[in-house]
Structure 1
């Protein structure tokens, strides 16, 4: 059956000409909901269960300098092509809980309770959503950190400054640890964002966590089946991971891109949050070429939730194809 604009207009005209049907007595409307259900999504990689846990999303006015090497008008055009409103940016956050069968592993920890309070609950949801998904923070064996930006480490502490995961070892990239814990690097950091990052990183790790921290090297497993992979540029020690179980593999890209509608589609765009934008671009192209060639599933910290799918080549860039939602695990 063909459905044309003519059919639609005819149907609308008939509906407009129909007498109003006498309705039953009016009833009070159901109160509007004021929040989403807890946000988590599970899928399997071999025998391992991956649990994407939303930490929320942050929406803010589009900065003139979000993309360093492109004019704001071009960024707005890309936002509109992706059916996103112009002049504002929404960034998503999705830490992981991986159940290997023998270990419960958290990868990155979200924005933390301070951001939850200041954002009125828009971000900092990781712990509450993790608990809603059935995981007790006390049961976590290992916390693996990809890099030291606040949206990845601030959730290591509770609102009263205690360890969120009191029984977990905290694994950090050795290169990242060396850079941010270097007093000389801190003294040379320019005022503003970089200096503030050093202060925040020291605040987090000086709060009783240093004894729990173990630096790790690239090219080695940091948990069963979880290989640490160098993916520098975003920070000096930025790390991604390959989760392997049986014949299945998942690439956990951390912050190789920010929102894919901008930075996968345009891999040459330099994000203001990348510490070494040129190196970040080189890493991004290398990683995404690999994902295309290997048809490997990818999980992205800043992808729209549930933040995973597959990548295909699209012109001079790449396109994220979201993995189909499944009602079963």
Structure 2
């Protein structure tokens, strides 16, 4: 029988202890690769305007090839170059959509409603997210008191309906700009629209949406307080009755501008003289844009832009004959 020395015993004990501490002998344990999430989180962002709580709720974003006539008074190459200068993709347009919910303390108000759930299916979830994201933000559509519309393009009104064409906000008063209602309800104006033109499509869609609601709307004029803390502001040109809204509480305010800059809002902030194909009266839309942004830059007014990059909140500052969009700081607390 061989004896065991004290030194050998200690060496063996150390080796055994090391093995217990590192059973894989220095080799890393095999781990399964973490699966990719494959989807975005729900998009909503809250901030305060005085005592009023505002929630920006994304409806998604749509990317499509840059049309030759996307800007009526600028060549496609110049438009594409400006998109690239703004870190966009060459010959591509990405249009974000951001409705808002305003809790005044007395009323729960939605301003514009997005593309609607039918577009969610058609675009494989790229747009039409508003209803889903409202729920994720803890907002029950049945508790909304008032829906205020800025104008009648589909990306602002289609969310008035559910996927089965029922009222998405069943207990809400629907408020519409009187000038907008008058124009789009006029059979004579509809007859002037060229067959199969986008304008004719707008007329038909407007009548489909409001017809499903029994045309039960409250018309409002510009320059009026619609609910406590929310005042309408005439900003025509994009459409005949296009209207923005000032949300104010105490000394704090935000301009919910809607489509003062359409589709790719930041592009038209940098190029205020360009007339987007969606602007029905390009010259008037430009004049409105310059007047609005001159005022906003002077007053350092916070702006909520429907087509700004999410959360679609920022300031504009003068930059020679144009403007620059300055994103608002993210606030982690209310």
> Scaled by the length of structure 2, what TM-score is found?
0.90
Match of 2:296 in 1: 291
The question of 1:319 aligning with 2:324 is answered: yes
* 1:238-270 CA-partner distances (Å, limit 9, x unpaired): 000111101101111100002233100010001
Q: 2:249 aligns with which of 245, 248, 251?
A: 245
Long gaps (5+) in structure 1:
1-21
**Residue 161 of structure 2 corresponds to which residue in structure 1?**
157
User: Are residues 1:308 and 2:313 paired?
Assistant: yes
1:31 aligns with 2:49: no
How far apart, in 2, do the equivalents of 1:145 and 1:23 lie? 63
Q: Partners in 2 of 1:133 and 1:271 — Cα distance?
A: 33
Within 2, Cα distance between the matches of 1:121 and 1:261? 23
Q: Distance in 1 between matches of 2:97 and 2:229?
A: 24
Question: What CA RMSD, in Å, does the superposition of the two structures yield over aligned residues?
Answer: 1.0
Aligned residue for 1:98?
A: 102
Structure 1 runs of 4+ with >2 Å offset? 258-261
* 1:46–1:246 Cα contact (<8 Å) kept: yes
C-alpha spacing 1:31/1:278, structure 2 compared with 1 (3 Å): same
1:203 to 208, 211, 215: 208
**Contact 1:79 1:261 survives alignment (8 Å):** no
Shift of 1:23: 6.0
* 2:61 pairs with 1:49: no
CA contact (8 A) 1:309 1:320 kept: yes
Secondary structure class of the residue paired with 1:177: helix
Residues paired across the two proteins, number: 307
Structure 1 length normalisation: TM-score? 0.92
- Check whether the contact 1:95–1:109 (CA below 8 A) recurs between aligned residues: yes
Which sits farther off after the overlay, 132-141 or 255-264?
255-264
- Contact kept? 1:292, 1:313, Cα under 8 Å: yes
Q: CA deviation at 1:135?
A: 0.5
